[in-house]
Structure 1
Amino acid sequence: MDGDQGPFGPVVNGTMVVVFYQYRPSEIAGYAFLGLFAIATLAHIVYLFILRAWWFIPFILGGIAEVFGYYGRALSHDQPDVVGPWILQNLLLLTAPPLISATIYMTLGRLATAVDSRRCLPVTPRLLTPLYVLLDVGVVGTQLAGSVLPASGEPSAIELSKKLVLSGLLAQAVALTIFILIAWFVEHRIKQISSPTIVLNDNTLAHWGNHFRAIQGVTLLIIVRSIVRTVEYVQGPDGFVISHEAFIYIFDAVLMWLVMAIYTVLHPGRLVRDTRRQKNIKGAKH
């Protein structure tokens, strides 16, 4: 296993019981994205306290998972057949997106409430948010189980892990697709309000629509990521996607980092804070 050509994995009695990688993972790429996710996560930790955006805690946990996930991939460069680094990256890179998605789900209701347009939501936030967060918990569970089971080397466990991960990815893709349609519907209904609220009429908050478009944008990025990962598991261990490391960086690392970067530039906590301030000012005048 000293060469750069795969496959790599643990060998028992002269037989490779499970393939970890079809290639030697890139150490440079692993550390590069470790740094990028660390910077983005640190920025969101700062925003957490400045904006008091406590609902971003799952988002930050997702960022931390991405950091250590790519640390695992960097370690795998020198240890491509060792189970520890492989489980670390496989486990964390699969569970990070559902954690990040949980915050996105909670954001929609908060934005609608901030601009006094909760009536535009097709489902009350008290139902919508818990429903999607509960779904995310289920997705995280399938990813956790599906990431750990192959380490045993048992064929039945490996097959079960594939089914668990695939079902979780499919459920996430479907849920996100429905969610992005809901977000678009809410923005569309708000724009059609015949008598806009005081908040919507405030020129200083004219950028409110950007936050709804940001929800749609980041959700679409995660959908693309989920679709590619689903194709990866459908193709199996010898498939084209899993055999080329570029896919995990282009369609996972880059997309998830863009999600964190977009919310760094256009943090929804700012709109929530600004609308709260405007309401307090107008309330004081009256």
Structure 2
Amino acid sequence: MVVIETPSCQAYSRDVRNPFGYRPSLAAGTIFLTLFFLSACTHLFQAIRYRKWWLSLFVLGAGCECLGWIARTAAWKCSYSPALFTMQIAILIFSPAFTTAGIYIILFRMIPLLGKHTSPFPPKLCLLLCLAVDIISLSLQAAGGGLASKSFHEDTDTRPGTYTMVAGILFQLASTISYSILMSIVFVRGFAGIRDSRPLRWLSGAVVLAIVCMVARGVYRSVELLQGWRGFLNTHQVYMIALDGVLMVTAVVALNVCNPEKLLKQAGEEIYLADPLVKESGSEEEIKVGTPESSDIV
């Protein structure tokens, strides 16, 4: 890639190529950084209120999205800054991994409420495998981002770093699709429980919406990077706004509105109140995630 030796904050001109291939939108940047900031703050409040460490994954996800959009907003003024370009691309590529990890935990928490029979595999095994894959994909994306950033600044071949990032995204995408299949099986087998529980209906809807958004975003990002830094998707801002910004803000806000811990707690209490003798029948583990006595569980 050829990097034009231009002052980072020189007045933007269409006649002078910049790293983005366009001038980042100030309006879009301001809107998205505000929405992600508010979402991160809300997730933080909810994590503190319910004292659940796993909710901090959503804080990290929305917070990193906010940082990425701060870089894009600053790039409206400094459109020729390689640092801002690499910062926003690296952060916005790996930040959804945190949100994905949080969504994996939601299913792990729902399975005991719906019954162990709803999952074809042990819930803890599914969770550990999904989180392991998420960590690997995050590592690949971070390593790829670092390699691409170094190559970009040194004006050398960025393909090794780019392909590493793509491998991380595809790895995460495959994991998310596999999770979606497992989720579908659980929801079908546990349909009666979801249908009869308003909290679980809301939570299931939010999870499905978030997963659909993140899978669509993963497909977009994979194609975008495979096309190269000067590819059609990478140099047309509207796709970045619609297929990354809008989709990710929809996912994180859906999980704000349908707070997972609150709904899981309500669903557990419904089951406990409906059949307080269920513990004595040997199904204690299937309700403990949401009952008042279980505040210290994940």
TM-score by length of 1: 0.85
Between the aligned residues of both structures, percent identity stands at 23
Offset at residue 277 of structure 1 (A): 3.2
1:233 matched to 2:225? The reply is: yes
TM-superposed deviation, 1:71: 0.4
Distance 2:120 2:244 in 1: 31
Distance 1:257 1:201 in 2: 26
Secondary structure of 2:158's aligned partner: helix
**Alignment partner, residue 134 of structure 1:** 132
Equivalent positions of 1:105-184 (< 5 A) are: 105-113=104-112, 115-153=113-151, 158-184=158-184
Asked whether the 8 Å contact 2:40–2:62 carries over to 1, the reply is yes
SS in 2 for 1:21: coil
Can you list the C-alpha shifts for 1:186-228, whole angstroms capped at 9, x where unaligned?
Answer: 0110126xxxxxxx4996x344233223222211110000101
Using structure 2 for the length normalisation, give the TM-score: 0.81
1:73 matched to 2:72? The reply is yes
RMSD: 2.4
Q: Is the 8 A contact 1:24 1:80 kept in 2?
A: yes
Using the TM superposition, give the Cα deviation of residue 95 of structure 1 relative to its aligned residue in structure 2, in angstroms.
1.4
Counterpart CA distance in 1 for 2:17 and 2:272 is 62
Task: Report if the CA contact (8 A) 1:111-1:271 is conserved.
Answer: no
Q: Which residue of 2 aligns with 1:15?
A: none
1:267 equivalent in structure 2: 259
In structure 2, do the counterparts of structure 1 residues 73 and 239 end up closer, same or farther at CA, with 3 Å as the change threshold? Answer: same
Range that drifts further, 247-256 or 230-239 = 230-239
Task: Give the one of 244, 267, 270 matched to 1:252.
Answer: 244
Are the counterparts in 2 of residues 51 and 273 from structure 1 also a CA contact under 8 Å? no
| Amino acid of the structure 2 residue aligned with 1:169 | I
Structure 2: unaligned runs, 5 residues or longer: 1-5, 281-298
Conservation of the 8 A alpha-carbon contact between 2:187 and 2:194: no
Distance 1:268 1:98, change over 3 A: same
Contact 1:76 1:86 in 2 (8 A): yes
For residue 80 of structure 2, give the secondary structure of its aligned residue in structure 1. Answer: coil
1:60 is paired with a residue of what secondary structure? helix
Q: Which runs of 5+ in 1 are unaligned?
A: 9-19, 193-199
What is the alpha-carbon distance in structure 2 between the residues aligned to residue 60 and residue 224 of structure 1?
22
Once structures 1 and 2 are overlaid, which stretch shifts more, 26-35 or 83-92? 83-92
Secondary structure of 2:21 counterpart: strand
2:75 counterpart of 1:56: no
- Residue 26 (1) aligns with residue 25 (2): yes
Tell me the number of residue pairs that the alignment of Structure 1 and Structure 2 aligns.
266
In the alignment, residue 267 of structure 1 is paired with which amino acid?
N
| Letter of the structure 2 residue corresponding to residue 125 of structure 1 | P
Distance in 1 (CA, whole Å) between partners of 2:128 and 2:183 is 16
Find the aligned partners of 1:157 and 1:127 in 2 and give their Cα distance.
40
1:95 aligns to what?
94
Partner of 1:13: none
